[in-house]
């Protein structure tokens, strides 16, 4: 059997992989760590500091499942970023299902880190993604967004 992620610390995507995901989630102290990225599915571990959040986001073509392992939080979802009409408290054992195209955020309402894992279908982050803190994630996503906008503009000029 493969080592648990707390021992191997790498994205094992495209390989058969077994892990104690509850333990791996609890041991993860990075904001985001991709543990398995395949062609059609991805799993990441997350650690959200007290009084912080994942950040309001929307994945147009990606369904998402999140499982809270420990901590307390509030999940907000809606059809637009200005209208998050769905709110629900979450804690260890909670499962959150986010349909593609839904704006969502999870806020840590507790005094301890909120530990969760997420499954994306299809994958959302590059293979091997590790964001030590939220600002690392925001910086990388901004860079990727700027790159995608530049490519889109260049493609539109060619038409």
DSSP 81: T
What are the extents of the domains in the chain? Answer: 17-134
Q: Which two three-digit tokens encode residue 5? A: 């992620």
The alpha carbon of 12 is separated from its chain's Cα centroid by a whole number of angstroms, namely 17
Three-state DSSP class for residue 69 = strand
**Would the pTM of this model clear 0.75, i.e. be above it?**
yes
Cis (ω within 30 of 0) for the bond into 122? Answer: yes
Lookup: tokens for 11: 């994205």
Per-residue pLDDT of the chain (159 residues), as tens digits, is 444 544 556 899 988 988 999 999 999 999 999 999 999 999 999 999 999 999 999 999 999 999 999 999 999 999 999 999 999 999 999 999 999 999 999 999 999 999 999 999 998 988 988 888 788 888 888 877 654 444 444 444 544
Sign for the pseudo-dihedral over CA of 122, 73, 137, 117: negative
Strand partners, 74: 89, 107
Fold of 17-134: Jelly Rolls (2.60.120)
């Amino acid at each position: 059997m493969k080592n648990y992620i707390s021992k191997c610390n790498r994205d094992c995507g495209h390989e058969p992989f077994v892990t104690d995901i509850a333990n791996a989630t609890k041991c993860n102290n990075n904001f985001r760590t991709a543990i398995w990225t395949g062609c059609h599915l991805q799993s990441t571990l997350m650690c959200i500091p007290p009084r912080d959040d994942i950040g309001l986001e929307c994945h147009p073509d990606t369904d998402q499942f999140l499982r809270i392992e420990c901590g307390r939080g509030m999940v907000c979802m809606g059809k637009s970023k200005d209208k998050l009409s769905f709110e629900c408290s979450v804690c260890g054992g909670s499962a959150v299902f986010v349909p593609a195209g839904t704006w969502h955020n999870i806020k840590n309402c507790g005094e301890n880190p909120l530990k969760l894992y997420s499954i994306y279908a299809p994958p959302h982050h590059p293979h091997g993604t590790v964001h030590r803190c939220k600002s690392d994630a925001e910086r990388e996503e901004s860079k990727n967004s700027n790159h995608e906008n530049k490519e889109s503009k260049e493609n539109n000029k060619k038409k």
